A and B are shown apart, each in its own frame.
Chain A
């Protein structure tokens, strides 16, 4: 009889440990980005309630910027849907790539589906960096503690800051805007545990802007799907094969 309550407490404990990630550098950088978003929403004619609702419903910042951009331009619903959904294709491989680390044999699919809503770039990086240090059966609680709280806190930030900061001085808004990409460059590189991630990092970072010049509508798709596949093939047939060739070669030399 004593083990179930212990289990429950333990999940709360890990949820709380995940919540403490709110004071980490990435979470703080994201919060400054959402202060910027509240100013952007106001400028674009979105009301406070709509901006908060959008933060809870969409969560990913790039998708929200695109949604507001197409809505403000008066595009029909289908066009808004298409623009946002094309820009969000990356969610699928992002979520899929952390699932093997996040789930245990006991995690129910409904819970994983629910938690996936809170995946955006910041929580994805957080999962890659920290999940392996958490006992497997507590990883969903840990991730939920971080990602759900991060979403709620940022919704509050948007609600509170809306209208307070209508416009930053250009120097401040420029620095705030640059924080996010700079942080992603460093943290995604630092969290790479496989050679394929570093190759895909370089390919994506160069192909993204290059493809934008070729075809701005589908640039991310080309750079991501095409570039990612190329990075995988290069890693598998050049990098890892070279690594494998080194090992048998040295063991062959031993008998000689």
Chain B
């Protein structure tokens, strides 16, 4: 069991820490050469935003845990109405969070 524990820490260091920080370090080295407002920085911003939103959007479409059993229309509807309310109220983040989560909880409770 102690051998097993030691092995898990090695997995965390190699497959967790190194696997993520390699990209962060490369980001520093690349970002250090980018000028503010350069075309390259526009491209980097676009790729970063698309990657983050792809990860985020997948959480809504393909959730894990208890939400995996909830209907897709409920999750999308809660997010969509909350986001619309957020856009209509001068883009206040708290509006999106409160409206979406309230609708989701109401939906989960009544379904």
Contact = CB atoms under 8 A, between A and B. Distances in A.
Interface of A: 25, 29, 40, 46-47, 50, 53-54, 57-60, 62-65, 67, 70-71, 77, 80-81, 83-85, 87-101, 103, 109, 112-113, 116-117, 119, 121, 124, 170-171, 173-175, 177-190, 192, 194, 196-197, 199-201, 203-209, 211-212, 219-220, 223-225, 227-229, 231-232, 235-236
Contact of B104 (A101, A178, A183): A178
Q: Is the interface of B mostly helix, strand, loop or mixed?
A: helix
Interface residues of B, number: 76
Contacts, number: 318
Nearest to B25: A113
Given A57-B12, A190-B93, A178 B47 contact: no
Given A29-B97, A182-B79, A220-B54, A95 B28 contact: yes
A158 to B, nearest CB: 13
A70 B56 CA distance: 20
Q: Is the interface of A mostly helix, strand, loop or mixed?
A: helix
A181 B46 contact: no
A100 B31 contact: yes
Interface in B16-40: 16-28, 30-32, 34-36, 39
B19 A88 contact: yes
B57 A196 contact: no
A183 B20 CA distance: 23
B109 interface: yes
Nearest to B70: A174
B65 A177 contact: yes
Contacts of A223: 50-51, 54
